[in-house]
Amino acid sequence: MYAGHGCLREGEGRLTGATMKAASRFSGATRCGLVLSCLVVARLLVCATLGSAVFSSGASAQDELPQFRQVSKSDVSGSLRKVRNIRFAMDEQFPPFAFRDSAGALTGFLPLLADALCADLRVSCEFVTRDTDAVQLALTNKQADAVVFLTRPEELDFSKLDFTRPFLRPFGRFAGRSAGPIRQTDVRTLAGKRIGVRQGTSHERFIQQYYPRSLLVSYATQAELYEATRTGSVDIMFDDAFRLMFWMQGTGSGNCCDFIGRGFFDKASFSHPLIFAVRREDGDLRKVLDYGLDRLQTSGRFAQLYNRFFPRSPY
């Protein structure tokens, strides 16, 4: 267990060297359905090509992270008086969401987000590290007070748990060769064009449904999809924005490609919300977490933390 406010080394948050070697262990297929780790998004974005990714700056001005949450004006002063300490459970082996830095300190987007929330609200916070499959158990066994979910709303168990409003969502995005002719992603522009996708994914189904006039080219692996895009075997590809940004930033892409157009939101498939979960009886804590997330967004601190660990906006 690790206490907040000082245990997290914010200055060493970038993914380089040994940190990226840890990420490369999770190359290949990703889990489907409900995942109970606070770092489940990392399973979506970490792939074989991520192992060589190194970046030194956040999102560019033209790629600024937009404000995502609708800020609530509810009075939470009563709940704030009741919540003085928050224990967050997370898996420490999923960069860039949570990992150990070169000095062995816990860092990453989610620990620093939680730490910033606690500091802003002047409550203490602790971090309980668990393996992915044990994160929810830590919550139900009262070894932790909050974890993070990424799942379909219909899969949330409201009988046992309470949830904050979403603070981040995965988006689908098109990407293609920077020197290529395609600059728009509307149905007419992409009619007759070869769109690469990963076989059997929600991104493939999205293209099948909304781009029926395009030529769908499906690949068995992420590596094959990205190589086809790099070499021009497809005109454009559609994939998870988090995966794409790290591949494009890494040396494996050869600096070939860039995002084309803006992100696509599909609530029913690939844009499941990232939310804090607490026990059902801890309604005051849920209100405090929502209030803290609203404040971090309004102050710009949420965007600062995102830009420290992610090279681009997913939107």
Tell me what the pLDDT averaged over the chain comes to: 81
Residue 236 identity (one-letter amino acid): I
Query: Which pLDDT score, from 0 to 100, does residue 153 have?
Result: 55
What average pLDDT does this structure show over 276-296? Answer: 95
What are the DSSP E strand ranges found in 4-132?
Answer: 85-90, 99-100, 106-107, 124-129
- Over 80: is that where the pLDDT of 144 sits? yes
All domains of the chain in start order, with CATH? 2-169+272-309 (3.40.190.10), 172-264 (3.40.190.10)
- Check: CB of residue 127 under 8 Å from CB of residue 118: no
Per-residue model confidence as pLDDT tens digits over 64-116: 665 667 788 889 999 999 999 999 998 888 888 889 999 999 999 999 999 99
CA distances from 144 to 8, 39, 126, 150, 192 (A): 18, 15, 9, 18, 52
User: Residue 69: is it exposed, middle or buried by C-beta count within 10 angstroms (0-12/13-18/19+)?
Assistant: middle
3-class DSSP state of 62: helix
The pLDDT confidence band at residue 53, using thresholds 50, 70 and 90, is very low
Query: Which pLDDT score, from 0 to 100, does residue 4 have?
Result: 53
What average pLDDT does this structure show over 232-261? Answer: 96
Between residues 142 and 31, the one the model is more confident about: 142
3-class DSSP state of 195: strand
Query: Which pLDDT score, from 0 to 100, does residue 257 have?
Result: 97
Angle CA(167)–CA(171)–CA(176) in degrees, nearest 5? 145
- Please, what is the end-to-end C-alpha distance for the chain in angstroms? 34
